[in-house]
């Protein structure tokens, strides 16, 4: 691909190219192909930045004869893989060539609020046709990502409906290393459209137990809204599905050798979809969720990822052939959600075989008992949907309050004391699954639909329809901290809340 400085870099560069991603190296290591972004950076300051991200709307080829125009980073989908070293400060120049103010959010990292990339926390916008330099110390290690963090509302060309997403890998000081190769996969949909009512997959979560009181509340609210003559609120559907920016069958296959252990870093970069991934005849040994190592690796037949979730899993290549690694949903796979895995020497059309049905239970990835540290305080949170209440869009509330549509920094609703341990008791009185995200902190899963657990540290968790989920976190990163559903459609219509430190 280009001259490497260590065999590891050469190797990683090559493997990323295979999966259709481009590795962006620090400017100091840049070859000629990348010299112009580095020069642009030097215009901002005497010292060039380590990395440059340019936000612009350009044509992108998802497949032959399938060219879309979407806003992206550095003219590519996904944005370049940024490899940081844990604890080693980086500087990034962000150039915004669009007419809209932008935010680059460093999802899953413990960075200060002013560089986190959320206007709700007070991060400055990258102005239209302007630039901003950010600098931070990357941590913690593992699979993180960066993405836009602006509200799109009804504009399906804006926010996360665009191509503004890219993976970050923060190299740990010590790498467990029980694999031969690393590959990054970013799952992302394009060509969004609005529809009335959706059909989000629901039956994959385990435990399936719902809370009767939440169900009664949600169903009676919906009945009352429909009785008033309302339709179901708008949902978003997609026409094109991609892995690493290409529809199934139109990118380079991932070429593997028998016996190879491939570590897949999978990122659900969707604006609001829940994704699954399976590879016929193979299983996944999950080692990390949202970039954080599990107490022990867990083998599963396939993966499920809520919006913004990440999974790092090793696949041992022991079933030669040409396979489709893809989504369990036939329709989404047919519209592109998959990538071809091709063994050396194997020929023929890529084959898809659905795995035996399996459930996704977060507690299987942790310990079977709750952590023995009690929280200092518990915040009870009730999530409710007001059907079609905002110009046909559903309005979302946390404890009866929708985040104000016109304000950036709303008054904080939850107050934290540094060093205290908090429990969020999230109760979902709607039939939708919400991938809930806390900025600038990680949390530990403590109870999923009644089942206690510990040891799984994440920054996004799916809260199932009419279910209850509890997570614990330590307030260890002072500053305004945003809490929200990661579905663009939900966060834009109220499903956010701000925490502050007192
Ligand atoms: Cu949601």
pLDDT digits (tens, 9 = 90+) for 111-127: 999 999 999 999 999 99
C-alpha of residue 385 to centroid of ligand 1, in Å: 9
C-alpha of residue 192 to centroid of ligand 1, in Å: 17
C-alpha of residue 87 to centroid of ligand 1, in Å: 33
H or E segment to which residue 330 belongs:
helix 330-334
Residue 91 CA to chain centroid, in angstroms? Answer: 23
Residue 471 CA to chain centroid, in angstroms? Answer: 18
Q: What sign has the CA pseudo-torsion 102, 151, 326, 167?
A: positive
C-alpha of residue 108 to centroid of ligand 1, in Å: 18
C-alpha of residue 396 to centroid of ligand 1, in Å: 8
C-alpha of residue 168 to centroid of ligand 1, in Å: 24
C-alpha of residue 467 to centroid of ligand 1, in Å: 13
Exposure string over 237-265, b if 16+ CB within 10 A, otherwise e = ebebbbbbbbbbebbebbebeeebebbbb
C-alpha of residue 235 to centroid of ligand 1, in Å: 11
Q: What is the DSSP letter of 253?
A: -
C-alpha of residue 487 to centroid of ligand 1, in Å: 5
Token pair of 359 as six digits: 């459930």
pTM of full prediction above 0.75 = yes
Count of alpha carbons within 13 angstroms of residue 285, beta-carbon side: 12
What burial class does residue 75 get, using C-beta atoms within 10 Å of its C-beta: 0-12 exposed, 13-18 middle, 19+ buried?
middle
Cα-only R_g, the chain: 22
What pLDDT shows up at residue 28? 35
User: Which segments in the chain show pLDDT lower than 70?
Assistant: 1-45, 176, 197-202
SS3 assignment, position 212: helix
What pLDDT shows up at residue 450? 96
C-alpha of residue 434 to centroid of ligand 1, in Å: 4
C-alpha of residue 314 to centroid of ligand 1, in Å: 30
C-alpha of residue 299 to centroid of ligand 1, in Å: 28
C-alpha of residue 186 to centroid of ligand 1, in Å: 21
Exposure string over 106-125, b if 16+ CB within 10 A, otherwise e = bbbbbbbbebbbbbbbebeb
C-alpha of residue 435 to centroid of ligand 1, in Å: 6
For residue 363, give the nearest of 240, 450, 290 by alpha carbon. 450
């Amino acid at each position: 691909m280009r001259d490497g400085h260590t065999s590891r870099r050469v190797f990683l560069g090559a493997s990323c190219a295979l999966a259709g991603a481009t590795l962006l190296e620090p400017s100091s290591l840049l070859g000629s192909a990348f010299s112009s972004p580095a020069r642009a950076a030097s215009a901002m300051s005497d010292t060039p930045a380590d990395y440059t991200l340019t936000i612009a709307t350009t044509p992108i080829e998802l497949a032959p004869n399938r060219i879309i125009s979407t806003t992206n980073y550095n003219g590519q989908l996904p944005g370049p893989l940024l490899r940081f070293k844990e604890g080693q400060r980086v500087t990034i120049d962000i150039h915004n060539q669009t007419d809209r103010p932008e935010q680059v959010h460093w999802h899953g990292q413990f960075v200060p609020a002013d560089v986190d990339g959320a206007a709700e926390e007070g991060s400055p916008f990258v102005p239209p046709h302007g630039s901003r330099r950010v600098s931070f110390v990357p941590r913690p290690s593992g699979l993180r990502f960066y993405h836009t963090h602006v509200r799109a509302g009804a504009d399906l060309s804006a926010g996360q409906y665009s191509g503004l997403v890219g993976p970050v890998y923060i190299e740990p000081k010590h790498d467990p290393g029980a694999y031969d190769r690393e590959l990054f996969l970013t799952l992302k949909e394009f060509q969004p459209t609005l529809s009335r009512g959706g059909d989000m997959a629901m039956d994959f979560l385990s435990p399936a137990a719902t809370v009767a009181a939440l169900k009664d509340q949600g169903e009676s609210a919906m009945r009352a809204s429909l009785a008033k003559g309302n339709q179901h609120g708008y949902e978003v559907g997609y026409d094109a599905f991609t892995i690493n920016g290409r529809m199934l069958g139109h990118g380079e296959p991932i070429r593997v050798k028998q016996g190879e252990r491939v570590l897949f870093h999978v990122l659900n970069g969707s604006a609001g979809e829940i994704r699954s991934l399976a590879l016929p005849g193979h299983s996944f040994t999950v080692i990390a969720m949202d970039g954080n190592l599990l107490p022990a690796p867990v083998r599963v037949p396939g993966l499920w990822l809520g919006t913004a979730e990440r999974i790092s899993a090793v696949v041992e290549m022991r079933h030669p052939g040409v396979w489709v690694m893809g989504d369990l949903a036939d329709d989404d796979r047919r519209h592109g959600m998959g990538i071809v895995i091709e063994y050396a020497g194997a020929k023929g059309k890529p084959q898809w075989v659905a795995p035996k049905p399996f459930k996704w239970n977060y507690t299987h990835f942790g310990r079977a008992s709750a952590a023995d540290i009690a929280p200092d305080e518990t915040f009870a949170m009730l999530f409710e949907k007001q059907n079609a209440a905002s110009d046909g869009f559903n309005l979302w509330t946390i404890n009866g309050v929708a985040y104000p549509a016109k304000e950036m920094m709303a008054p904080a609703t939850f107050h934290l004391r540094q060093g205290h341990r908090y429990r969020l008791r999230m109760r979902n009185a709607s039939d939708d699954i919400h991938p809930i995200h806390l900025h600038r902190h990680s949390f530990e899963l403590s109870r999923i639909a009644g089942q206690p657990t510990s040891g799984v540290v994440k920054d996004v968790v799916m809260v199932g329809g009419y279910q209850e989920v509890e997570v614990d976190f330590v307030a260890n990163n002072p500053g305004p901290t945003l809490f929200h559903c990661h579905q663009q459609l939900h966060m834009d219509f109220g499903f956010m809340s701000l925490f502050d430190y007192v």
